[in-house]
Structure 1
């Protein structure tokens, strides 16, 4: 049985869309999915990159697209009252739901729905308190153990060349984005393309522009 590590951050609408679509994408395959909360902002800072919501014209398009994608694939999605926002408290809460820091699908789904289903403020204290009561964390979400888990997850993702979310990792290969789910399924189903030269050859493609650094 293959194991998929699903690197996610609840601030990302694409992570929610991929999370909801993943069971259908993997239908009939025997796999285990491990959910790995990471801090997207730290991944982007490591790369000196901006998120789509930080680029004004791209922000507008991103929000339009994810609303359409939610409607298209049947995933409930309403933009929260503010976006982007700092997701750290939600990431820590998800990690705290498991004594090993490995949140299950039900906990992750509850947090995703908290953000993406109601259109309300994700960090509203009363809503956060209600979510915490519902999830009944096994660890202190604000304690040093959970803080260390989030730092470690994010550091491991950076070391593993994860550059965004959602990223699904299996057998050392990274599949990024909602639109990579068909490609992931093909790999898991044994598509011979993945044993050919194309996967690795792109890393040897010469760079065609001057480099600033």
Structure 2
């Protein structure tokens, strides 16, 4: 059985769609999933890139695209009253529901639905209080231990090479994005291109391709 770590942030519509699609995309395979909330803003800052919603034309395209994808997948999706928003309250709530900061699928589903159905303000204090009461976490989301676990998850993700969400790590390999689910399935099935003797060499060879654009730190 393969073990998948699913890195997510509830702010991401693509993470929501991938969360909904994962059981369908991997149907019939033997695997387990650990859901790890991470702060997308921290990943973006570490890599020195703007968030998708900080580039106005890209923001408009993403909002169109995810609505089209949702209706194609048969997934209910309504944008929250404001987006982007500060997701830290939801991330910390998810972390607080489990001792190791690994929320189960029900918790993640509840929080994704909180954001992506109904069209309400995802960060509204009263709504956050209500969903906290529903999930009844074993710890206070504002505790230092919860904040530390969220940071540890994010630091771990960065160390693994995660730069965005949704990302799925298995056997040290990171697959990024909703559209990577077919590739993830192929890997789990033992696809020859990904699993033969030269697979790791091919996987890592892309890092040696020279870039013709100077780095920002040069």
TM-score (normalizing by structure 1): 0.97
Residue matched to 1:193? 193
Query: Structure 2: which 5+ runs fail to align?
Result: none
TM-score (normalizing by structure 2): 0.95
- CA positional deviation for 1:60: 0.4
Query: Structure 1: which 5+ runs fail to align?
Result: none
Does the 8 Å CA contact 2:160/2:174 hold for their aligned counterparts?
no
Residue matched to 2:118? 118
- CA positional deviation for 1:203: 1.6
Residue matched to 2:109? 109
Cα distance in 2, alignment partners of residues 207 and 41 from structure 1: 26
Cα distance in 2, alignment partners of residues 57 and 171 from structure 1: 36
* 1:63-98 deviation per Cα after TM superposition (whole angstroms, max 9, x unaligned): 000111111111111111000011000000001111
* 1:124-180 deviation per Cα after TM superposition (whole angstroms, max 9, x unaligned): 122111101110101111111101100111111111111000000000000000000
Residue matched to 1:207? 211
Cα distance in 2, alignment partners of residues 53 and 142 from structure 1: 27
Cα distance in 1, alignment partners of residues 148 and 213 from structure 2: 40
* 1:26-54 deviation per Cα after TM superposition (whole angstroms, max 9, x unaligned): 10111010000000000000011011100
Residue matched to 2:7? 7
* 1:100-142 deviation per Cα after TM superposition (whole angstroms, max 9, x unaligned): 2110000000000000011110011221111011101011111
